[in-house]
Amino acid sequence: MLEIADLRVSYAGIQALRGVSLNVEAGETVALIGPNGAGKSSLLNAVSGLVRPAGGSIALNGTDIAGSSPWRVTEAGVLQVPEGRQVFAEMTVLENLQVGQTALHGRDPTYSLADVYRVFPILDERRDQRAGSLSGGQQQMLVIGRALMGGPRLLLLDEPSLGLAPVIIEQVFAALARLKEAGLTILLVEQNAHLALTASDRAYVIEQGVIEKSGASADLARDPDVTALYLGQT
C-alpha cells in the first residue's frame, strides 16, 4: 500500500531523514520506533504532505505522492493523527468529528459517526462538550476518531501514547487493535518501543534519520540491540 524509497527530508541544513526506505502492506500495522529527534514525525509529515521531501519517492498503491499537498493525500485516503493531539479546543467533540469528515472530499465514508462512537463510547457521552475540556486520553481518542471520520485506508499515528497514563494507553491501543482486526492499515510512530512492538506486525528502528533495523516485531522485541537500547526499562 505504501512504499517509501530513499526518502530525504531537510530543514534549513539539518538532515532529518537521510535516505529512508520503508513499506506497509494492506492490513498491516507497522511501527516506526526511535528516540527523540530521530526523524519519526518528519517521515509521517513527508507522507501526509506537511513537509516537502528533498529526495526519494513515496508511492501509495503504486502512485508517487511525494510532494503532493495534504489535501491530495487525504483525498487518497491517508489520514494523520498528529503528535500532541491538536484538537480544535474551542469546538465541541461532535464538531471536531465533523471537521474530520471534510477529508472525505466526496469519497464514501469508511467509518460512520456511530462507528466512531462504538470505538470510543466516551466521545458519544461527551459529544457536546468543548474538546479543550477533555482529559488527555479523551483528546487522543477524539483525534483518532476525527481521522476515522476522514475515511482512512491508511492511518498514520504519531505517538498516540505520549503523556497518557498506562490505563488510558491500554484503552487507546485496545481500540487500535480492534481497528486493525477490522482491516485498517496503520503506520504507528512511537518512542515507547515496548508498546509499539506489542501492537505491530513489523517494525523499523530509526536513529538520526537512518533505518538501523527492521523485521517482525516479535523478533525485534527479542533482539539484544533493541532490548538494550529501548526495552531496558521494561
CA distance 34 to 211: 9
Asked if 191 touches ligand ATP (CB under 6 A), the answer is yes
Which residues, numbered 7-36, are part of the site for ligand ATP (CB under 6 A)? 11, 14, 16, 34, 36
Cell numbers linked to 130: 468543548
Asked if 188 touches ligand ATP (CB under 6 A), the answer is no
When the beta carbons of 3 and 83 are compared against Mg ion, the nearer one is 83
When the beta carbons of 93 and 176 are compared against Mg ion, the nearer one is 176
| Cα→Cα distances 116→46, 71, 87, 127, 148, Å | 27, 22, 16, 12, 7
Cell numbers linked to 184: 485498517
Q: Max CA-CA distance within the chain? A: 49
Asked if 41 touches ligand ATP (CB under 6 A), the answer is yes
DSSP letter, residue 42: H
**144 binding partner (options Mg ion, ligand ATP, none; Cβ < 5 to 8 Å by kind):** none
> 105-134: b or e for each residue (b if 16 or more CB lie within 10 Å)?
eeeeebbebeebbebbebbeebeeebbeeb
Asked if 38 touches ligand ATP (CB under 6 A), the answer is yes
When the beta carbons of 37 and 121 are compared against ligand ATP, the nearer one is 37
For the window 146-185, what string marks contact with ligand ATP as x by the rule CB under 6 A? ----------------------------------------
Please give the torsion angle defined by the CA atoms of residues 157, 162, 164 and 170, in that order, rounded to the nearest 10 degrees: 50
CB of 207 to ligand ATP, least distance (A): 9
List residues near ligand ATP by CB under 6 A.
11, 14, 16, 34, 36-42, 83, 191
